Amino acid sequence: MSACTDDTTSTDKTKGQQDDSEKTEESEANTPDSDENEAEDTKKENSEPEQQEQDKEKVAEPVYKINENSSIVPIGEKGEEKTVLLTIDDAPDGHALEMAKTLKDLDAGAIFFVNGHFLEAPEEKEVLQKIHDMGFAIGNHTYNHVYLPDLPTDEQKVEITSLNDTVEDIIGEQPKFFRAPNGANTDFTKQLVKDEGMVAMNWTYGYDYFEPYMDAEKLTKAMITGKGPEVDVPQSLLKPGANLLMHDREWTAAALEDIVQGLRDQGYKIADPSLIQTVE
Ligand SMILES: [Zn+2]
């Protein structure tokens, strides 16, 4: 198992139920209304061959955005309110590919937040390529899964930009989403992430990194009810817009299908990350 320090430091945050430290400034991560421009661009691409290069990544018109609380919310009336976002952190370790296949079979989208230290061997790169080819969004979770506030700014920068370069070398495009390990950003990283063209987000709930929920059955129940009574979350955190944190872990991989089904059984739609507004 990887040394994901989310396990320890996120505990208090989850109990408090949001990443309060993020609330003040993250709204900036939401880009201004670029919908019309994108629609224009799409038309042009169809008529002007020289623009086809830019068309490699087909960007659909955004339907959702990530708000200052890391929730996913519809833009205007296009998106469905009763939607949740699935995210898989610390990938691709031992289970990400299996998790991607499970989600693909269920036609459920997700963002895989990856670390550079999992992307060094050729076979690891191949796994990332496969996950990307299956249509999943790839997010930046720093190169070494470090606690960013402990680093000088030049090293914070390298943690983020070197991973963007690594991901681009493998899949041909840079991540559009960023999540800091432990949800711990700094003023410097907040600005850098924007400058790098990424939307930053933390999460609204997740349980797979707490010992009582390192079990597929218990985790499934916690994720689909939103409740984690064994870690002092007696109330449900499942609600429209919830941003669900999961990890590349054995028990999470085993629970994933039942989690998706359980959410859908309650009328929740699983968001397609390609419909989330990104920084242009
Ligand atoms: Zn992590």
What's the number of domains the chain is made of? 1
Taking ligand 1, which is a single-atom ion, which protein residues have CB atoms under 5 Å away? 4, 6, 89-90, 181
Q: Is residue 189 part of a domain?
A: yes
Q: Is residue 26 part of a domain?
A: no
Residues of the chain above pLDDT 70, percent? 79
Residue 207 CA to ligand 1 centre (angstroms): 13
Give pLDDT, residue 280.
72
Q: Is residue 232 part of a domain?
A: yes
Residues of the chain above pLDDT 90, percent? 75
Instruction: Number of helices (H) and strands (E) in the chain: give both, helices first.
Output: 8, 9
Q: Is residue 269 part of a domain?
A: yes
Separation CA 147–CA 23 (nearest Å)? 19
Residue 213 CA to ligand 1 centre (angstroms): 16
Q: Is residue 226 part of a domain?
A: yes
Residue 202 CA to ligand 1 centre (angstroms): 11
Q: Is residue 126 part of a domain?
A: yes
Residue 5 CA to ligand 1 centre (angstroms): 7
Residue 94 has pLDDT above 60, yes or no: yes
| pTM confidence score | 0.81
Q: Is residue 268 part of a domain?
A: yes
Give pLDDT, residue 191.
98
Residue 46 CA to ligand 1 centre (angstroms): 40
Residue 245 CA to ligand 1 centre (angstroms): 10
Contact present, 253 and 219 (Cβ < 8 Å)? no
Q: Is residue 87 part of a domain?
A: yes
Range of the domain at 188: 62-275
Mean pLDDT of all residues in the chain? 85
Residue 11 has pLDDT above 80, yes or no: no
Q: 87 or 47: which carries more pLDDT confidence?
A: 87
Side-chain half-sphere CA neighbours of 268 within 13 A: 28
Residue 23 CA to ligand 1 centre (angstroms): 20
Q: DSSP letters along 122-148, please?
A: HHHHHHHHHHHHTT-EEEE--SS---G
Give pLDDT, residue 112.
98
Residue 78 CA to ligand 1 centre (angstroms): 32
pLDDT tens-digit readout, 139-169: 999 999 999 999 999 999 999 999 999 999 9
Q: Please give the C-alpha separations between residue 275 and each of 61, 73, 78, 233, in angstroms, as whole numbers.
A: 7, 11, 10, 31
Residue 4 CA to ligand 1 centre (angstroms): 5
Token pair 């490699």 in the structure block, residue: 56
Q: Which helix (H) or strand (E) element contains residue 168?
A: helix 153-171
Residue 246 CA to ligand 1 centre (angstroms): 9
Separation CA 112–CA 152 (nearest Å)? 27
Q: What is the CATH number for 229?
A: 3.20.20.370
Residue 113 CA to ligand 1 centre (angstroms): 8
Residue 79 DSSP SS3: coil
